[in-house]
Structure 1
Amino acid sequence: MGRQKKNKFKNREGVVYSTSDDFEYSYEGGEEEETLEPSEQDLRIWLDRKGGGKIATVIKGFVGTEEDLKSLGKELKSKCGVGGSAKNGEIIIQGDNRDKVEKYLTEKGYSAKKAGG
């Protein structure tokens, strides 16, 4: 079982060949949403139980680029002093840090509420 090469041309749309010198291929899914201002964001803070009895704080509802999501996630992880991740429109912070997260987000101008039970 050898390593397989990843085909970088797989997502090209509609063009097989072009003779134009300044032709640019268009790729599927290349457009990201523009990040909304903090006051326009409506974030929900959930408590989630992971495998092995671990608890995580999950922030859902972020609208914006993946880069801005990761930046906010990094700030929250630093503020809470724990690890976590930020991807697919969600920020996951290890442990029950809902109060710290809510306080920090409202100070930054976000509309944030605790959700779930």
Structure 2
Amino acid sequence: MDLSDQLKNLFPDHEVPEEPQEEQSNIWLQDDPLECRFEKRKGKVNTVIAGYTGATEDFKILAKEIKTTLGVGGSFKNDQIIVQGDFRERIMEILKEKGFKVKRVGG
């Protein structure tokens, strides 16, 4: 018997409110896949995401979500998300969960 069953026995008239559903972000999903590639810039390893055809503001929001989730630095320049480090696999998983098609470019 878990805690919720015990509470139901103690308070039979109490109704449990439904859990709020997670908010879906209003990011525009596109038909063409995003490109996720590995680059070295000035001797440092970076992951670059390019190919988004939606609004720039949506892409900036997506960049912030990716950087926050991974806990790394990065930037948004020239319609590309640049993330510090080689996080291609994890970024591709995050984008697929959000409903994007992702194409791995390069090694």
Query: Is TM > 0.5 for Structure 1 vs Structure 2?
Result: yes
Distance 2:32 2:58 in 1: 13
Q: Which has the higher contact order (CA 8 A, sep 6+)?
A: 2
Q: Which runs of 5+ in 1 are unaligned?
A: 1-35
Runs of 4+ with deviation above 3 angstroms: none
Would you say the 8 A contact 1:55–1:95 is kept in 2? yes
Alpha-carbon distance, 1:74 to partner: 0.2
* Secondary structure of residue in 2 paired with 1:67: helix
Q: Scaled by the length of structure 2, what TM-score is found? A: 0.70
Shift of 1:48: 0.6
Q: Does residue 105 of the first structure (1) align with residue 95 of the second (2)?
A: yes
- Aligned residue pairs, count: 82
Kindly, what percent of the aligned residue pairs are identical? 43
Q: Distance in 1 between matches of 2:95 and 2:29?
A: 9
3-state SS in 1 of match to 2:52: coil
- What is the aligned partner in structure 1 of residue 31 from structure 2? 40
Distance in 2, matches of 1:68 and 1:86, equals 12
Greater helix fraction, Structure 1 or Structure 2 = 2
Structure 2: runs of 5 or more not aligned: 1-26
2:83 to 86, 90, 93: 93
